[in-house]
């Protein structure tokens, strides 16, 4: 496996998510995928949830993750699996991005000027570690929600 970032060889034509689809109007087009895939593409959810996605400080992360978790619960109560899954992905992304900034100064993991060599770990912002913990707890709470887990299992079985 390469140590270089995966975006260097990214093939858009093989990506399952497309920015020109309204996933609320056409939910059957949505695929769960792995991790955070599609999170920055799937509209209208990207615009609805992304408004609240912040992790600069612990306090901001608390407010942000609470709002996104609230949206997650609303989507569930509306029987909107795509919205719930997208909210879950934003919570996961809050964790992973905050961890990136906690681990690497400026959030940069690779040095483009040195053939994308991985930069030194442990040079980042300790405040982001606290933000990451907050998002992690909300992300895991969302995944543990029985209604969500059942919907996700059914969706993946029926649609992928």
Give pLDDT tens digits for 32-84: 988 898 899 999 999 999 999 999 999 999 999 999 999 999 999 999 999 99
Q: Supply the pTM of this predicted model.
A: 0.85
Residue in the block written with tokens 């059914």: 154
Q: What is the DSSP letter of 118?
A: E
- Cα dihedral 133/134/138/143 (nearest 10): -10
Half-sphere exposure of 50 (CA within 13 A, CB side): 10
| pLDDT tens-digit readout, 4-20 | 666 566 566 676 788 89
């Amino acid at each position: 496996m390469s140590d270089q970032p995966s975006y260097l060889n990214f093939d858009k034509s093989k990506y399952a998510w497309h920015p020109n689809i309204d996933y609320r109007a056409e939910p059957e087009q949505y695929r769960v995928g792995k991790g955070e895939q599609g999170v920055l593409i799937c509209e209208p959810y990207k615009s609805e949830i992304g408004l609240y996605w912040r992790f600069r400080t612990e306090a901001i992360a608390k407010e942000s993750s609470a709002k996104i978790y609230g949206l997650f619960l609303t989507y569930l109560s509306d029987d909107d699996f795509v919205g719930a899954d997208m909210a879950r992905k934003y919570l996961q992304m809050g964790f992973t991005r905050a961890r990136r900034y906690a681990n690497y100064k400026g959030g940069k993991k690779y040095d483009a000027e040195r053939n994308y060599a991985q930069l030194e770990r442990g040079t980042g912002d300790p405040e982001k570690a606290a933000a990451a913990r907050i998002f992690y707890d909300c992300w895991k709470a969302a995944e543990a929600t029985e209604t969500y887990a059942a919907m996700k299992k059914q969706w993946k079985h029926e649609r992928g």
